[in-house]
Amino acid sequence: MVLSGLNGAAINKLGLAPSAVQTMMAQAGRQFEAISGVFFDAGQEARDKA
């Protein structure tokens, strides 16, 4: 999944530091991978058993 970018004005209004945004994006990426892995791994296991 690719994000097209973040809205700089929104980040500034929220008062977020660039390093905080990078940290949050990295964490979100890890969480997305973990969650999507549950769905895709389960689907692969079902195909392997068939």
Tell me, what's the pLDDT at 8?
82
| Residue 22 or residue 3, greater confidence | 22
pLDDT digits (tens, 9 = 90+) for 7-16: 888 888 989 8
d(CA 1, CA 8): 20
Please report the pLDDT score of residue 27 as a whole number. Answer: 93
18 pLDDT above the threshold of 90: no
pLDDT exceeds cutoff 50 at 1: no
How far apart are the C-alpha atoms of 44 and 16, rounded to whole Å? Answer: 39
Give per-residue pLDDT as tens, 27-44. 988 998 888 888 877 655
